[in-house]
Structure 1
Amino acid sequence: MRRLALLAALALSASAHPALAQTVAEPSDPYIWLEEVSSPRAMAWVEAENARSLAVLKADPHFAGFYADALKIAEATDRIAMPRLIGGQIANLWQDAAHVHGLWRMTTPTEYEKPEPAWQTLLDLDALSAAEKANWVWAGADCELSSEKRCLVALSDGGEDANTLREFDLVSRSFVSGGFMLPKSKQWVSWETPDSLIAARDWGAGTMTASGYPFVVKRVQRGAPLTAATEVFRGKPDDVFVIPASFTDGAGHTEVVITRGITFFEAEFVRVTAQGTTPIAVPRKSTVKGLLQGRLIFQVNEDWMPKGGQPITAGALVAVDPEGKAAPELIFAPGPRQSVDADEVSVTRDHVLAAVYDNVRGRAMRFTRSAGGWQQSVLPLPDNAAVSMVSSDHASNTAYVSVQSYLLPTALWKVDVASGAAVQIKQTPARFAADGMVTEQFEATSKDGAKVPYFITHRADMPLTGATPTLMTAYGGFQVSYTPHYSGVTGKLWLERGGAFVVANIRGGGEFGPAWHEAGLKTKRQVIYDDFAAVAEDLTARKITSPQKLGIYGGSNGGLLMGVELTQRPELFGAVSIQIPLLDMLRYEKLSAGASWVGEYGAMANPDEKAFWLKTSPYSNLKRGAPYPETLIWTTTKDDRVGPVQARKFAARMKEYGLPYLYYETTAGGHGAGANLKESAMTTALEMVYFQRHLMEAN
């Protein structure tokens, strides 16, 4: 993003000439020892860095108030208890001040709609953690679909991706004595029948990919030890992962589908039958979303000309006969500035629901299969907002859908999908005073001429003098769309204090479908960083803010984005917060789950891709004496996806070079801000203190 034309030209020339790429020297790395996540030496370093940074941030007079406000919002008992339909009942995982780990609980649909529902506790995670002397974090529940009376409850130690699975009986509200129990692993497990599971997990030496995920699928029978599990499918050690999933539809059809992830974005799909496994004829760049009337619902992320069917464009929804006897059916094809949110597609008894975005403004759509083809309609929900398919099931045409925007608190709607009727049943109270605030959408022009949209929320009377303290964020990777969202904490701690908030919809995301994502893959990634810089420059050109008043933040891949922006264009920003980041791109494949992301970032064994990251990787491109703003870097010890080590090494190199930084590492929380609401509020308060000091108080 922040590359000048000359630098972009150098990137292109290195890509065109592998011999030239190989002449770039790889810097030495004196901080490999920080990659030993829990070693005494590394943890002593973390403790010292935490003490130094907390002495600055927690001593700030704003910290106590920020923490109190953030925690009050996080633990508010009047927030929406988001529903999950299980067996015709409503389940929910609830955390508050009295239930730090959480309560898994259930009520009836009628009771749920009351202002104060009567809940029945299924599982008290605080009591369980105390009894087992563990730090259990809820990681979800997968319920057997024929009766939905028993579930596999996933429990994570401190928020890791790895989890333990235990069978739970919803009727007795207890773990099943002698029931299914799968010990800690990175694993995907799905019910095949009430008495058998299809499981991908660590089965022992030689069953996990280089990315740290399973590639062997076995059938686990009730009452039999895991050692007796029989193999169903085997991928390859150099795959990213293999994931089994079970689907049932309202007509009684069932399918068990195994996704063999060849790369992060490419997969082969097979169905499990009594005779073994058979392939499903879909493009590799596809994802399976559900089952309806015996047809598997896929989102296809590449152009496809199926045999005997009509042309299908990238980003479309299609219905596929799993046996391959009938041609695929086109459900919906988005236009050039449209996209189907990949995470917001659900299936009811008779319909497909999806969040469809037009220039990053969402609406909920219903798709119905008929003799004349698929019919579509728009559900009567607020437009120009973010739409989430909260819950639906195969047994009914009831769905729960949430709607929110930057100034509209999250509302929950109950939808009768068959009739298309919708009624709002719950509304989150406003968490900040939004009177006099507006959200606008602008476009910036990137270096290559691409138009990059962004949203800015601010006071309507904001003076255009370049003096408004502004926070800006983006993600820019993995086809993840950054859609409008309501953040009570951002509103309370930033917007109410006169700040502005910006979300940039840069390339690498999915806001405009697969092409928007693929424009920034691997060695083409500089356009992502140029897009972000273009938005920053546009904010200054419009005199909304100025570099000394502009702060940026992002996490995970967004943390990499922040690191690149810091090292390429430090003159554009007054503060940079780098969250749970990738930063050492020359070694990322060897760290945590890094090998799984080669499809996004490239491989260091490829000379062109390595040459790109030699010039771009933040850890390798920090410069002594460069005019970087004081940078906040934070991560979590328990993150087993990206890991804390890249953040540690980046901070250590900044210290070596005499560069200004603050570093904070919480010991729990996985790939997030903390394992519970208190820890998350703590991280939020620390970050907001940092931005307050640099953007609102600095001259």
Structure 2
Amino acid sequence: MGQQLNLGGRPAPHPPTARPFSDNVGMSGVEQNVNDPYLWLEEVTSDRALAWAREHNEVVIDRFASSDRFSVLEHRILDMLDTDTKIAYPGRRGPWLYNFWRDAAHPRGLWRRTTFTEYAGQNPEWDVLLDLDELAAAEAENWVWGGAGVLRPTQSRALISLSRGGADAKVVREFDLTTRTFLEPADGGFSLPEAKSQISWIDIDTVYVGTDFGPGSLTDSGYARIAKRWRRGTPLEEAVTVFEGAASDISVSAAYDRTPGYERHFVGRATDFYNEEAYLIGEDGQLRLLDLPTDAGVSWYKDHLLVRLKSPWQVGDHHYRSGTLLAGNFPEFLSGTVAFEEIFTPSADTALHGYGWTENHLLLITLENVQTRLYVLTPGADGWQTEPLADTPPMATTGAMNLDPLEGGDEFMLTTSGFTTPTTLLSTSVGGSTEVLRQEPDFFDTEGIETEQYFATSEDGTRIPYFVIRHRDRKAIPGPTVMSGYGGFEISRTPAYSGASGMGWLERGGTWVMTNIRGGGEYGPHWHTSVQKANRYKVYEDFAAIATDLVTRGITTPEQLGAVGGSNGGLLMGVMLTRYPQLFGAIVCQVPLLDMRRYHLLLAGASWVAEYGDPDKPQEWEYLGKYSPYQNTRTDLTYPPILLTTSTRDDRVHPGHARKMAALLESQGREFWYHENIEGGHGGAADNKQSAFQATLIYEFFTQMLIERPETT
């Protein structure tokens, strides 16, 4: 790909009785900061806070994780995660296919590579580059893989990122792929201590780096504020500054486009989560700002400049809609004479989901009512030609991967999967034949399980899609149902196979629902931008509308309906608990944001102000305070049982959110459970065993709350 910066009848129930969003009875910001009795739970690793967490963990394990049923499901999920029959997804770098692999014998994982010829065979020979289990044992560190940046074209060196326990902050160490050893700093190896760093190759002796250089070098969000050029053999303190941002920025980064004949150095300055300034670095070191919308997705390949708009853009007499993908000649743009061509224009039902280059073509992935379609675009003297790329199955997601325009020609890979269809990996090329490389097995019994798509109507009249996955025999009467949601940051949720939910819920007779509420990108940028900040309440109205629609259609009842979400989706769950408790029989709230009065002061929270708003501004706290779950619990309302989960090592969303909410609910005598993984990072788990436990815990909780509770039988 070219360089890309930032860089789912019965009579209708009564309408929700939750208080309107205009009625704010939560504590004021100042009052909450002064009087919050649980601030001590924000002390992540204090003895008192960890003792509190472990005490609550014991209650959860005793209630949910001590049965034979739990053990059987946990082992089934772990066997799935560890099995050799799952696809070893490769990352292509020219002739090499790289893969990071975990199984029962290697719980921390192996970093390895092979050739395409080997990979296309039944039993490829993998060249193991690094055994993370051996490294962790030798260094007495709880290393979790964080990725590797391989130097092109020689592919003889890599910059490897490792975290302790799965945190976002990582150490970076240079690795020699020939000797299979790390290069120590004393021998000239590039090395960075634990931080939220950005580092990338220029050549074998030079890198761009942004890290914690000392006081004042980080943004308020905890990311790099300064980008430097660092030469091998020189101290980090002597690295040459190429750009400095402001403390209020999100982050700054520099990188190098090594496309032969089109080499470019550039800088990205993210002024907030959705706006980024792009600069080219001239041979004289001077920076040139690209005069493009800062909220657009900007990328280039050779002389092609692509601009994906998030908001309308007026260029001369031309008015371009949000969601449009524009193409222009990069040198002409730099000279001020470019004429952009619309190569994708959104419609009411269709949005651009992704795009990337082969050597000679641009591939587009679109969403049409949340189902994927693929196209190939070819630039020529007479403009761009568009043709369908491949047939895509319904109720499934198909995507392209391993596009390598630098060394891979027009070859690439396709993946496709659905809720009941395991992933298939295929090899193909533009205009060439398609070959199945790998297909994962079924991990649960899919016989009779069907997928349907429905639409609910939100309070403002917007149609909100969702998918329902259930056995055809369960359609006669309402049954236990779990709906999942996210609704933020323009993240689209599309159909995908989940062996864990199949084993843990569908096989037990449950119905699974995936929602496509606003805040995501399923219908283009406006699906997200229309519900930012003051309009955030519409996200929650969407989810509540789907919950109501499920009951109206006779799919479930409020007592049998569960909801689950994590991170921003955890905030969604907190609002469902406090605003719409009558709609649900149980809730799982994972690694959540819940205290919106203090979220911007905790870890990476400051970087999300563009999404939610700034609670320090009275006019923005006015709407934040109306839904912030921690400030809006009410003792006069009955809440459904809730399971809150988080991770001590999550350095993105502070574990204090979940801790404090659990303590508050406990003080009110609520039916709640709390579990904190002492490792795991923002994903909640540091290895397959922890992932299997976390998944099993969720399904066991819903089984006990929605299937076995006396009032639901």
TM range (shorter): over 0.9
Amino acid at match of 1:585: M
8 Å Cα contact 1:578/1:633 also seen in 2: yes
8 Å Cα contact 2:588/2:698 also seen in 1: yes
The 5 A counterparts of 1:552-591 are 552-591=563-602
Q: Distance in 1 between matches of 2:560 and 2:456?
A: 19
Please tell me whether residue 494 in structure 1 is matched to residue 502 in structure 2.
no
Please tell me whether residue 367 in structure 1 is matched to residue 377 in structure 2.
yes
Q: 1:285 to 1:173 in 2, by over 3 A?
A: same
C-alpha RMSD of matched pairs (Å):
2.1
> Residue in 2 aligned with 1:414?
427
After superposition, the C-alpha distances for 1:586-636 in whole angstroms (9 at most, x for unaligned) are 110001100000000000122222011222111111122521111100000
Amino acid at match of 2:484: T
Match of 2:265 among 251, 256, 259: 256
Match of 1:75 among 51, 66, 82: 82
Q: 1:112 to 1:23 in 2, by over 3 A?
A: closer
Amino acid at match of 2:428: V
Please tell me whether residue 225 in structure 1 is matched to residue 235 in structure 2.
yes
Question: How much has 1:77 moved relative to structure 2?
Answer: 1.0
8 Å Cα contact 1:83/1:400 also seen in 2: no
Identity fraction in percent: 40
Q: Distance in 1 between matches of 2:19 and 2:663?
A: 30
Amino acid at match of 1:184: E
8 Å Cα contact 2:19/2:579 also seen in 1: no
After superposition, the C-alpha distances for 1:262-289 in whole angstroms (9 at most, x for unaligned) are 1101111112222222111210112344
8 Å Cα contact 2:448/2:471 also seen in 1: yes
> Residue in 1 aligned with 2:178?
171
8 Å Cα contact 2:29/2:597 also seen in 1: no
Please tell me whether residue 196 in structure 1 is matched to residue 206 in structure 2.
yes
The 5 A counterparts of 1:223-372 are 223-249=233-259, 252-276=261-285, 277-289=287-299, 291-306=300-315, 310-319=318-327, 321=330, 324-325=334-335, 326-327=337-338, 328-341=340-353, 344-372=354-382
Q: 1:353 to 1:210 in 2, by over 3 A?
A: same
Please tell me whether residue 399 in structure 1 is matched to residue 416 in structure 2.
no
Question: How much has 1:58 moved relative to structure 2?
Answer: 1.4
Match of 1:453 among 465, 474, 481: 465
After superposition, the C-alpha distances for 1:100-144 in whole angstroms (9 at most, x for unaligned) are 110001111011011211111011111111111111111111122
Q: 1:364 to 1:422 in 2, by over 3 A?
A: farther
Please tell me whether residue 503 in structure 1 is matched to residue 514 in structure 2.
yes
Q: 1:203 to 1:318 in 2, by over 3 A?
A: farther
Task: Answer with 202-211 or 455-464: which moved more.
Answer: 455-464
Amino acid at match of 2:175: F
> Residue in 1 aligned with 2:107?
100
Q: 1:306 to 1:694 in 2, by over 3 A?
A: same
Task: Tell me the SS of whatever aligns to 1:256.
Answer: strand
Task: Tell me the SS of whatever aligns to 2:473.
Answer: coil
8 Å Cα contact 1:87/1:147 also seen in 2: no
8 Å Cα contact 1:548/1:695 also seen in 2: yes
> Residue in 1 aligned with 2:621?
610
Amino acid at match of 1:316: T
Please tell me whether residue 648 in structure 1 is matched to residue 645 in structure 2.
no
Please tell me whether residue 47 in structure 1 is matched to residue 67 in structure 2.
no
Give structure 2 stretches of 5+ with no counterpart.
Answer: 1-14
> Residue in 1 aligned with 2:450?
438
The 5 A counterparts of 1:4-83 are 7-8=20-21, 10=23, 26=32, 28-83=35-90
TM-score (norm 2): 0.92
Q: 1:600 to 1:329 in 2, by over 3 A?
A: same
> Residue in 1 aligned with 2:698?
687
Task: Tell me the SS of whatever aligns to 2:603.
Answer: coil
8 Å Cα contact 1:625/1:657 also seen in 2: no
Q: Distance in 1 between matches of 2:154 and 2:385?
A: 31
Q: 1:318 to 1:136 in 2, by over 3 A?
A: farther
Task: Answer with 162-171 or 635-644: which moved more.
Answer: 162-171
Task: Tell me the SS of whatever aligns to 1:62.
Answer: helix
Q: Distance in 1 between matches of 2:550 and 2:122?
A: 43
8 Å Cα contact 2:361/2:379 also seen in 1: yes
> Residue in 1 aligned with 2:216?
206
Question: How much has 1:5 moved relative to structure 2?
Answer: 8.8
Q: 1:106 to 1:235 in 2, by over 3 A?
A: same
Q: Distance in 2 between matches of 1:434 and 1:463?
A: 16
Q: Distance in 1 between matches of 2:28 and 2:437?
A: 61
8 Å Cα contact 2:487/2:518 also seen in 1: yes
Task: Answer with 390-399 or 43-52: which moved more.
Answer: 390-399
8 Å Cα contact 1:624/1:659 also seen in 2: no
8 Å Cα contact 2:22/2:626 also seen in 1: no
> Residue in 1 aligned with 2:536?
525
Q: Distance in 2 between matches of 1:203 and 1:377?
A: 49
Q: Distance in 2 between matches of 1:369 and 1:677?
A: 44
Amino acid at match of 2:552: A
Q: Distance in 2 between matches of 1:83 and 1:329?
A: 34
Amino acid at match of 1:63: F
TM-score (norm 1): 0.94
Question: How much has 1:571 moved relative to structure 2?
Answer: 0.8
8 Å Cα contact 2:217/2:225 also seen in 1: yes
The 5 A counterparts of 1:588-607 are 588-607=599-618
Question: How much has 1:9 moved relative to structure 2?
Answer: 5.0
Q: Distance in 2 between matches of 1:521 and 1:228?
A: 42
Question: How much has 1:93 moved relative to structure 2?
Answer: 0.3
Q: 1:514 to 1:324 in 2, by over 3 A?
A: same
> Residue in 2 aligned with 1:215?
225
8 Å Cα contact 1:288/1:299 also seen in 2: yes
Amino acid at match of 1:683: Q
Match of 1:139 among 120, 123, 146: 146
> Residue in 1 aligned with 2:12?
none
Report the number of matched residues. 684
The 5 A counterparts of 1:457-468 are 457-466=469-478, 468=479
Task: Tell me the SS of whatever aligns to 2:493.
Answer: coil
After superposition, the C-alpha distances for 1:469-496 in whole angstroms (9 at most, x for unaligned) are 1110011000000111100111112111
8 Å Cα contact 1:330/1:374 also seen in 2: no
> Residue in 2 aligned with 1:17?
none
Give structure 1 stretches of 5+ with no counterpart.
Answer: 15-19
Question: How much has 1:422 moved relative to structure 2?
Answer: 2.8
